[in-house]
A and B are shown apart, each in its own frame.
Chain A
Amino acid sequence: MARTEDLIGDLAAGLRPVRRMPGPGVQAALWLVGAAAAIGAAVLLHGVRHDLMARLMLPQEGAQWLAAVATGIAAALAAAMLARPDRSARWALLPLLPLPFALAWAAMLGLGCLEDLVRLGDRALQPRLSMGCIRFILGLGIPLGAGLLLLLRHAGPVRPTPVLLLAGLASAALCSAGLTLFHHLDAALEVLVSHGLAIALVAVLGRALGRPLLMRAPVAAG
């Protein structure tokens, strides 16, 4: 088939020098630094909660916060790795590493719900959403996720779906961790539902709407 050889000739003839991309680890680190700065600024703007140190010292809240941060870092690194064709698909499992933390968090929140129930009666079980939480995680999580997808737009022709999901997860998890630093929520169920919902929403939005941010796979004519 001569046509393929022609194509190679055309590609080589039209070759332009490109700037080599930094490695995936560096890309993830770059984005994490940027995201930490943006979230940090938002947290300072809202004012850190006065009892922050005391709360983070509590084992359940410390574990919760660490789980969110670790999930965010792991998801960002996994997304950057999966965006490269030759990296193992097993990187997608990395964000599961903080799972024990996350489970501990959910269990603690579950206990928290029971405590609330004892303390507040059935008022504690009314499924309420904290719109503030959701607004913060969406408002900051979506632009941060979009930024990560633009940085990893080369994933488009290779492995778009896991990268779209992981980018959403990375930014939402970090925003959730940031939110904990200033937001007062005492009803555990509310935290569980609001944060969980917002994180899932950002991940799903990344999957559904992020596609145009990535490169498109080329198709040969004919």
Chain B
Amino acid sequence: MAGTEGEWEGWMAAAQAGDARAYDRLLRACLPFLRAVVRRRILDPSESEDAVQDALLTIHQLRAAYEPARPIRPWLAAIAERRAIDRLRRHGRRQGRETPIETFGETLAAPAANMAEQRLEAARLREAVAELPPAQRTALVLAKLEDLSLAEASARSGMSVGALKVATHRAVKALRKRLGGGAGD
């Protein structure tokens, strides 16, 4: 929680007037604070990060209702708290409906039999990669599969380093979603 007294409040007042840079600065500065508030309620890291994002969206939606004469931290904390509780409720409802199925590492005694499953997984992965948008596919192949550095990958593909980072990130996310990702959500 860095920053001098009244700094965040000043940034928010400027953001209300349309100052995008002050707004960007405020949201980045208050992010650790929001995360701390949410993590008091939600331990699961990906679930709590989702709640932090909900809180950011709510802050954005309600920015006209902030009164600059009042300290902003209680305002931010109350919003983050609210969104954390909402996530917990939704999560609770979901868990009430679903029963986790235990995953067994090995289903058959013969090692070769399990290989079929692995081959199937690989095929699914190849299929999913093939279906990514071209930019994402290129970025993923260069950066992750061929293991090039960002600078090399940028030279090979003609994409900027920033664009590569974004595309790789989106590609991984899309794959995870498509393959019903075990990691994260």
Contacts and interface: CB of A to CB of B under 8 A. Distances in A.
Given A2-B169, A11-B27, A15-B15, A157 B61 contact: yes
Interface string A4-33: 111111011101111111010000000000
Contacts of B56: 4, 7-8, 11, 220
Contacts of B74: 85-86
B64 A21 contact: yes
Contacts of A219: 54, 57
Nearest to B28: A8
Interface of A is mostly: loop
A158 interface: yes
A11 B61 contact: no
B169 A18 contact: no
Interface in A80-128: 83-86
B23 interface: yes
A23 B17 CA distance: 17
Contacts of A16: 18
A119 to B, nearest CB: 54
Interface stretch (B75-83, B93-101, B105-113, B126-134): B75-83
Contacts of A50: none
Q: Interface centre among A85, A154, A219, A222, by most B CB within 10 Å?
A: A85
A1 interface: yes
B28 A222 contact: no
Nearest to B21: A12
Contacts of B16: 17-18, 20
A192 B71 CA distance: 45
Contacts of B61: 157, 215, 218
Given A84-B65, A85-B62, A218 B54 contact: yes
A217 B86 contact: yes
Given A4-B53, A4-B56, A19 B64 contact: yes
Contacts of A5: 28
B147 interface: no
Contact of A7 (B23, B53, B169): B53
A25 B102 CA distance: 56
A86 B23 contact: no
B31 A217 contact: no
Nearest to A13: B20
Interface string A129-170: 000000000000000000000000010011100000000000
Contact of A85 (B19, B23, B52, B79): B79
A1 B169 contact: no
A8 B169 contact: no
A83 B64 CA distance: 13
A83 to B, nearest CB: 8
Interface of B: 15-21, 23-24, 27-28, 31, 49-50, 52-54, 56-58, 60-68, 70-71, 74-75, 78-79, 82-83, 86, 165-166, 169, 173, 185
Interface of A: 1-9, 11-13, 15-21, 23, 83-86, 154, 157-159, 215, 217-220, 222
25 contacts: A2-B165, A3-B169, A4-B52, A4-B53, A7-B57, A11-B27, A11-B60, A13-B20, A17-B17, A17-B18, A18-B64, A84-B65, A84-B67, A85-B62, A85-B79, A85-B82, A86-B70, A86-B74, A154-B62, A158-B58, A215-B62, A218-B54, A218-B61, A220-B50, A222-B50
Closest 4 CB pairs of A and B: A17-B18, A220-B53, A85-B78, A12-B24
Given A15-B19, A84-B75, 16 more contacts: A3-B49, A3-B173, A4-B49, A6-B166, A11-B57, A12-B20, A12-B21, A12-B24, A15-B23, A18-B16, A20-B67, A85-B79, A85-B82, A157-B62, A157-B82, A218-B54
